[in-house]
Structure 1
């Protein structure tokens, strides 16, 4: 089995849910026409990763202006289920492509926001989501923590089992192990980390999990912010995120990328037989495990 994948290193139409989905559809149509079967977008692509935003908050104090900005972010976040999810399902169906994208999710019951990754099949529609377990640093100001069955999701597709973690969750060994235990073969890692060391992280995960790793980031320049949001930036801010998207083989080789300092799309055809071949000498959940020494349990899992 071979699968042709595309990794989109782009910017959204910032804080604009409707326009971002339209931009996504244009990209999806282009790469579906080239025979791509799986398309991956970055962390919080809908409605955008709010880099440098403080939302008017310091320890012990929040401003009214910051609360209004948070409401704008909230209103442009994606609700599951909802009409915008249905729109993405229809886009995937129309173009017959499997879609994975980072979103900021607005919970329809409690109203909180979550950093979420969703899986959409061209034939089955919405298949599941992963909510970020631990937002990093000040991200906790706007994103709640995922819990239970919504955090360590894998989905079975015709070309392999998909799963993944978002950004610095990939530095949580037990979270990675929870996905390995489920037999993940295509490991999706949307991120906002644009350090060169991130490539090594993606290579490590691929070698450890004996899976393909698809790392996806944005390239983001200050001019990608609408003018009204540029007040959030320091005078010397220019390139806010360098990108670094990469596709890595189950033995840790970079197949495509890393892509730095520009927008673009990485395309690669993956031979899924490599997943099995790579387990000849290492299998973290098989012949290289020691269940007589170690036990591992995930609470509140599916």
Structure 2
């Protein structure tokens, strides 16, 4: 492990997305970036699919072997609100990273520049505006009717003064070999943009922090029934949702599995914390999952990332 800068100040943003609205979502995102930057932070983290929101509870008219024109209409609206990496809206986020001099991680629905597929993606911008995009390897459950499997950008990491930083999106963290792929790259800051407000998830993230001996940044969002546009076609499914659809629970776990910040529920907020990067090395004394506490002569992970 290379020498690490001693401290990283993080702004973890738990907020309500502006659903199905790319322009308004981008405006809110930029506002939150500059608000967080006032606290002289190094890293700003947003949840999964913050632009244009995670449409929890919708099915876009899909059933086994069937689909509806109303569902297709809603899907096309979501498609239009998704972002092409490298185009105008995306580059406004890159410019914000340069202007604030921060690393910025944000989940977005990525529209491919060539084919017609959407991807559940996360981008990490560096302070000079360069970026690495990660596409979700396997959309979970019925997410597969909206987003495709990643066809590139499997396990990118960003080299930072605090060590390698990368992300796995939501249930990707339930893929043990995907976690190991990040551990093998020496990750010290593990970002999880997600929509998991169930209590079991809290046990998962504590385990991963211990297993990887890394800081785990759990970035969740707030979604209310009122978050959905009133003129969507899929009114029946939305009407059955509870008033609070996703409660958040964002928090930061240290490499010992302890809460550096406690989970925050049911409100929009910016969580500030300072990561003591000495822990990322010191806690490997007794356990290093890809080092002295491994058996590469017995167990081997092969990654096909080309």
Matched, 1:8 2:10: no
**Superposed CA offset, 1:214-239 (max 9, x none):** 01111111112222248231346211
CA distance in 2, matches of 1:221, 1:257: 22
Matched, 1:147 2:115: no
Q: Which segments of structure 1 move beyond 6 Å, counting only runs of 4 or more?
A: none
Match of 2:51 in 1: 46
**Superposed CA offset, 1:163-218 (max 9, x none):** 12111110100000000000011000011111011111111110000000001111
Matched, 1:71 2:70: no
Matched, 1:160 2:159: no
CA distance in 2, matches of 1:36, 1:168: 28
CA distance in 2, matches of 1:56, 1:111: 18
CA distance in 2, matches of 1:82, 1:261: 34
Match of 2:65 in 1: 60
Q: Which moved more, 1:217-226 or 1:168-177?
A: 217-226
CA distance in 1, matches of 2:226, 2:115: 34
CA distance in 2, matches of 1:6, 1:169: 23
Report how many residues are paired.
299
| TM-score (normalizing by structure 2) | 0.95
Match of 1:137 in 2: 141
| TM-score (normalizing by structure 1) | 0.96
Partner of residue 263 from structure 2, selected from 258, 265, 269: 258
Aligned residue runs from structure 1 range 157-236, under 5 A: 157-229=160-232, 231=235, 232-235=237-240
Contact 1:38 1:98 in 2 (8 A): yes
Match of 1:294 in 2: 299
Contact 1:257 1:266 in 2 (8 A): no
What is the alpha-carbon root mean square deviation over aligned residues? 1.3
CA distance in 2, matches of 1:236, 1:113: 25
Contact 2:57 2:241 in 1 (8 A): no
CA distance in 2, matches of 1:86, 1:157: 21
**Superposed CA offset, 1:20-47 (max 9, x none):** 1111111111111111110111100010
Residue 68 of structure 1: how far off its partner (Å): 1.3
User: SS of 2:305's equivalent?
Assistant: coil
Q: Which moved more, 1:177-186 or 1:19-28?
A: 19-28
Please, which runs of 5 or more residues in structure 2 have no aligned partner? 1-5
Match of 1:128 in 2: 132
